[in-house]
Amino acid sequence: MERSFGKDWQKHFQEINLSPFAAASIGQVHEAILVDGRRVALKVQYHGISNSIDSDLDNMKMMINLLGVFPRGLYLDELIRVTRHELHWETDYEREASYQARYGKAISVSPEKFYAPKVVPHLSSGQILCSEFVDGVEIDTLVGESQEVRNRVATLMLELTFRELFEWKLMQPDPNPANYLYNKAEKRLYLLDFGAGRDFENEFLDNYINIIHGAVMSDRKKIMDYSLASKFLTGEENREMSEAHHTGVMIVGEPFREPGLFDFHSAGFSERCIKLLPALSQHRLTPPPEEVYSMSKKVVGTYLMCIKLRAQVPAYDIFQQTYTNW
Please say if 174 is a catalytic residue: yes
Record the pTM: 0.90
Taking every pair of Cα atoms in the chain, the longest distance, rounded to a whole number of angstroms, is 67
Is the predicted pLDDT of residue 251 greater than 90, yes or no? yes
101 contacts: CB under 8 Å, gap ≥ 6: 118, 119
Q: What is the pLDDT of residue 294?
A: 87
Distance separating alpha carbons of residues 265 and 303, to the nearest angstrom: 9
Contact by Cβ (8 Å): 305, 175: yes
pLDDT in tens, 182-222: 999 999 999 999 999 999 999 999 999 999 999 999 999 99
114-138 in b/e burial notation, b at 16+ Cβ within 10 A? Answer: bbbbebbeebbbbbbbbbbbbebee
Q: What is the pLDDT of residue 68?
A: 66
Distance separating alpha carbons of residues 249 and 208, to the nearest angstrom: 10
From 174, 193, 206, 317, the catalytic residue? 174
Whole-number CA gyration radius for the chain: 21
Four-residue CA torsion sign, 27, 28, 29, 35: negative
Distance separating alpha carbons of residues 282 and 240, to the nearest angstrom: 10
Beta strands in the chain, from DSSP E residues, in sequence order: 13-16, 22-23, 27-34, 39-45, 114-115, 128-132, 137-138, 170-171, 180-183, 188-191, 198-199, 262-263, 312-313
Distance separating alpha carbons of residues 33 and 46, to the nearest angstrom: 22
Q: SS3 helix, strand, coil % of the chain, rounded to 5?
A: 55, 15, 30
Q: What is the pLDDT of residue 184?
A: 94
Distance separating alpha carbons of residues 141 and 304, to the nearest angstrom: 14
pLDDT in tens, 25-68: 789 999 999 999 999 999 999 988 877 887 787 787 788 777 76
Is the predicted pLDDT of residue 112 greater than 90, yes or no? yes
Contact by Cβ (8 Å): 242, 233: yes
Is the predicted pLDDT of residue 73 greater than 70, yes or no? no
Q: Tell me how crowded residue 258 is: count the other CB atoms within 10 A of its CB.
A: 11
Q: What is the pLDDT of residue 70?
A: 63
Is the predicted pLDDT of residue 15 greater than 80, yes or no? yes
Is the predicted pLDDT of residue 234 greater than 80, yes or no? yes
Give residue 155's Cα distance to chain centre.
16
Contact by Cβ (8 Å): 50, 88: yes
Give the three-state DSSP class for 222.
Answer: helix
